[in-house]
């Protein structure tokens, strides 16, 4: 196996990014439920989407399967680890792949 071949592995969740965003939320890694469903902050009891609406960043409460629409409100989403998933408590060997900003230069 080539030393850096893991960099070519597919991301669990794609970055949701573009230039000139108001805010970017960067998680550690996709949770187990988010990885299973292919959607950010999809775990049971996760209040991320409700909080976005409560603090006025979105006009209505979005649902995890609508994650890509955050770009319409100037919000970006990414994770430090794009190749691993699970709760922060599980930790483990999380490979960190270069982020979106690094690929833009």
CATH of the domain at 72: 3.40.470.10
The range of the structural domain enclosing residue 33 comes to: 14-103
Q: What is the average per-residue pLDDT within 66-92?
A: 83
Which SS3 state, helix, strand or coil, does residue 27 take? strand
**Segment 11-51, tens digit of pLDDT:** 889 999 999 999 999 998 899 999 999 999 999 999 999 99
4 within some domain: no
CB 80: neighbour CB atoms within 10 A?
Answer: 13
26 within some domain: yes
Determine the pLDDT at residue 4: 57
Which SS3 state, helix, strand or coil, does residue 95 take? coil
């Amino acid at each position: 196996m080539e030393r850096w071949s893991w960099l070519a592995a597919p991301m669990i969740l794609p970055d949701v990014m573009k230039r000139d965003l108001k805010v970017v939320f960067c998680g550690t890694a996709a949770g187990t439920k988010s990885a299973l469903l292919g959607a950010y902050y999809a775990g049971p009891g996760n209040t991320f989407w409700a909080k976005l609406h409560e603090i006025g960043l979105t006009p209505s409460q979005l649902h995890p399967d609508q994650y890509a629409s955050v770009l319409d409100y100037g919000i970006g989403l990414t994770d430090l680890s794009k190749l691993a998933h699970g709760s922060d408590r599980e930790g483990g060997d999380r490979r960190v792949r270069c982020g979106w900003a690094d690929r833009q230069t």
